[in-house]
Amino acid sequence: MSEVLGEDPEVILAERRYDAIARIMESAVRKEEGKWTFTDMLDHVFLHRALGIPLFLVLLWAVFQFTFAFSEPFMVMVEVFFGWLGGLAAAGIANPQLASFVADGLCGGVGSVLVFVPPIFMLFLALAILEDSGYLSRAAFVMDRVMYKLGLHGRSFIPMISGFGCNIPAIMATRSIESEKDRMITILVNPLISCGARLPVYVLIGGALFGAAAGTAVFSMYVLGIALAILMALIFRKTLFKGKPAPFVLELPHYMVPTAKTAILHMWERGKLFLIRAGTIIFVVVVLLWFLSVYPWAATNGGEIIENSYVAGLGKAIQPIFAPFGWDWMTSVAIIFGFLAKEVVVATYAMLLGTGEEAVGDTLVSMGLFTPLTGYAFMAFVLIYVPCVATIGAIWRETNSWKWPVFTMVYLTVLAFVVSGLIIGIGRLLGYT
Partner 1 sequence: MTDFDIGKGKTIGIYAAVIGVVYLVLGVIEVFGGAGDVIPGDLFGGLALVVIAATFLYGIKDTFDGDHKGLSFIIGGFFLSAVFGILYLLLMGADGLMFLLGEVEEFSVLADFRPAIWMFILSLPLAYLAWGLTKDVTW
The least CB distance from residue 214 to partner 1, in Å, is: 12
The least CB distance from residue 164 to partner 1, in Å, is: 18
Q: Which is nearer to partner 1, 3 or 33 (CB)?
A: 33
The least CB distance from residue 372 to partner 1, in Å, is: 15
Helices (H), 29-95: 38-46, 52-65, 71-92
**Dist CA 241 CA 234 (whole Å):** 10
The least CB distance from residue 61 to partner 1, in Å, is: 5
The least CB distance from residue 132 to partner 1, in Å, is: 15
Return the amino acid letter for 183. R
The least CB distance from residue 62 to partner 1, in Å, is: 5
Number of helices (H) and strands (E) in the chain: give both, helices first: 23, 0
The least CB distance from residue 363 to partner 1, in Å, is: 17
Distances (CA, A) of 132 to 172, 257, 266, 409: 21, 8, 9, 34
The overall longest dimension of the chain from CA atoms, in Å, is 84
Q: Which is nearer to partner 1, 61 or 404 (CB)?
A: 61
Q: Which is nearer to partner 1, 135 or 236 (CB)?
A: 135
Q: Which is nearer to partner 1, 2 or 366 (CB)?
A: 366
The least CB distance from residue 148 to partner 1, in Å, is: 24
For residues 222 and 64, is the Cβ–Cβ distance under 8 A? yes
**Dist CA 264 CA 380 (whole Å):** 30
Q: Which is nearer to partner 1, 78 or 341 (CB)?
A: 78
Distances (CA, A) of 128 to 49, 74, 266: 25, 20, 6
**Dist CA 167 CA 162 (whole Å):** 7
Q: Is the bond into 247 cis (omega within 30 degrees of 0)?
A: no
The least CB distance from residue 173 to partner 1, in Å, is: 27
Which of 161, 141, 126 has the alpha carbon at shortest distance from 39?
A: 141
Handedness of CA 70, 75, 78, 80 (dihedral sign): negative
* Residue 69: other Cβ atoms inside 10 A: 14
Q: Which is nearer to partner 1, 62 or 246 (CB)?
A: 62
The least CB distance from residue 247 to partner 1, in Å, is: 27
Q: Which is nearer to partner 1, 122 or 189 (CB)?
A: 122
CA 230 to chain centroid: 15
Which of 316, 317, 315 has the alpha carbon at shortest distance from 334?
A: 315
> Interface with partner 1 by CB under 8 A: which residues?
33-34, 36, 40-42, 44-46, 48, 51, 54-55, 58-59, 61-62, 65-66, 69-73, 76-77, 80, 212, 216, 219
Distances (CA, A) of 333 to 48, 94, 186, 318, 390: 47, 30, 30, 8, 20
Q: Which is nearer to partner 1, 45 or 367 (CB)?
A: 45
User: How deeply is 19 buried, as exposed, middle or buried, from its count of CB atoms within 10 A (0-12, 13-18, 19+)?
Assistant: exposed
Question: What residues contact residue 42 under an 8 Å CB cut-off, 6+ apart?
Answer: 255
Q: What secondary structure letter does DSSP report for 340?
A: T
